[in-house]
Copies of this chain bind each other. A is one copy, B any other.
Amino acid sequence: MALPVRKSSVEFPPNCPLTECMAMLRGAWAPNVIWYLSGGPRRFGELRHDIPRISARVLSARLRELESRGIVVRRLVDSSPPSAEYDLTELGRELIPAIKSLAAVGTKLKLRAVSC
């Protein structure tokens, strides 16, 4: 006889907050941008330097997305020529421990990939 379908032992709030958070992290380089901002405020050009393979187009898109979601703030710096500085918000900083955990798992994934 076919097995009964068991009720799930875990629940998911409607309109899933995990999906919401992942929508923010799914874009290319998004976790990397957050990672580098975790070291303190960073200018556009500095981020391009931190993440050499990111294009200006994508970096710009990511920063605006993160800004619109309240993860990052943009601040104009009154230098010459004027410059823009990006920083994590308080909410953005709450992502750091999670991202560190993910990186830790990533390390083990790589080890496994080598040994198999």
Contacts and interface: CB of A to CB of B under 8 A. Distances in A.
A12 B39 CA distance: 11
A22 interface: yes
A106 B16 CA distance: 8
B6 A46 contact: yes
Interface string A74-91: 000101110100000001
Interface of chain A: mostly helix, strand, loop or mixed: helix
Query: What band does the interface of chain A fall in when counting residues whose beta carbon is under 8 Å from B?
Result: 35 or more
Interface of A: 1-3, 5-6, 8-10, 12-13, 15-22, 24-26, 31-32, 35-36, 38-40, 42-43, 45-46, 49-50, 69-70, 77, 79-81, 83, 91, 94-95, 97-99, 101-110, 112-113, 116
